């Protein structure tokens, strides 16, 4: 445990990092998933294999990438392959243990929207789109999702199905012939959620320090289910917090073009 104060975003990132194992092969999304995966690599999972959509395999960036095309990924990768090989051989070949995704909108069954907010033909907001996320959601053995809680983000019904989670719940994935597990973990800035074994509806299994059930419900657009025996998420350790903050500081300095005295040798 750390004596330092920490933010909800830091707790979310560190809780997500803890979920990764040293032998995972992880398909990494940009943003919060990238931060979590690299904190894991720099702490308890040094041998984790991080793969980004652009074809970089075994990458070990010193700073967080701005996009999948960031040169930092290729420069530090064990190897780089073509995108068709990345998807056909690595992803669709069943070699990815964890797909780590974010979401603009998420429903209780782990279905993700990153395409549009509002009507597709006349959207309120047009989002970046799926990229490779729909394929990651279908072909990775498991999916982990990270996002900040909000009423506009965690909704009763998403406006567009970009990446399929558990669909309508229950055995919907299996009925469609999808043989991977789908979303098995949701980490927000307030709690850790896991799908119910039968219904596949996300259920809160752990509250972050200082967070109440009301805090979770007030920032979620559906009626939240809480596990009968909930835990409290262990707060960040000094190592976890220092690793994350140093990573963010190096990233900020690099992207702003400023010298960074804390850059690794």
Over residues 31-80, the pLDDT tens digits come to 888 999 999 999 999 999 999 989 999 999 999 998 888 888 999 999 99
53 is catalytic: yes
pLDDT of residue 255: 85
What is the tens place of the pLDDT at every residue in 222-247?
999 999 999 999 999 999 999 999 99
What pTM was estimated for this model as a whole? 0.91
Residue 235 has what DSSP assignment? P
Helices (H) and strands (E) in the chain, counts: 8, 14
Helix (H) or strand (E) holding 195: strand 191-195
pLDDT of residue 67: 87
* Reported confidence tier of residue 258, pLDDT bands at 50, 70, 90: low
Q: What is the mean pLDDT of residues 74-98?
A: 94
Is 261 a residue whose pLDDT tops 70?
no
User: What tens digit of pLDDT does each residue of 144-154 get?
Assistant: 999 999 999 99
Q: Which of 53, 72, 135, 240 is catalytic?
A: 53
**Average of pLDDT values for 116-129?**
93
What's the pLDDT at 260?
47
Burial class of residue 40 (count of CB atoms within 10 Å of its CB; 0-12, 13-18, 19+)? buried
Which of 181-185, 195-199, 250-254 is predicted least confidently? 250-254
Strand duo 183-188 + 191-195: pairing: antiparallel
């Amino acid at each position: 445990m750390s004596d330092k104060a920490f933010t909800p975003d830091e707790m979310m990132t560190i809780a997500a990092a803890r979920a990764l194992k040293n032998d995972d092969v992880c398909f990494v999304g940009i943003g919060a998933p990238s931060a979590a995966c690299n904190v894991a690599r720099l702490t308890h999972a040094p041998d984790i294999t991080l793969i980004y959509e652009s074809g970089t395999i075994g990458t070990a960036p010193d700073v967080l990438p701005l996009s999948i095309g960031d040169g930092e990924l290729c420069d530090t990768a064990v190897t780089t392959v073509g995108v068709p090989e990345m998807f056909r051989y690595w992803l669709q070949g069943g070699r990815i243990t964890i797909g780590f995704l974010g979401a603009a909108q998420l429903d209780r069954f782990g279905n993700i929207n990153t395409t549009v907010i509002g009507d597709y033909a006349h959207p309120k907001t047009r989002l970046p789109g799926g990229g490779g996320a729909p394929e990651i959601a279908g072909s990775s053995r498991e999916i982990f999702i990270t996002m900040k809680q909000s009423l506009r983000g965690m909704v009763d019904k998403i406006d567009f199905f970009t990446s399929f989670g558990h669909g309508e719940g229950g055995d919907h994935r299996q009925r469609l012939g999808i043989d991977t597990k789908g979303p098995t973990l949701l980490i927000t800035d307030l709690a850790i959620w896991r799908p119910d074994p039968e219904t596949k509806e996300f259920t809160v299994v752990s509250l972050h320090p200082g967070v109440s059930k009301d805090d979770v419900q007030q920032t979620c657009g559906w009626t939240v289910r809480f596990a009968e025996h909930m835990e409290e998420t262990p707060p960040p350790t000094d190592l976890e917090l220092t690793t994350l903050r140093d990573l963010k500081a190096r990233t900020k300095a690099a992207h702003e073009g400023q010298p960074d005295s804390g850059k690794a040798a």
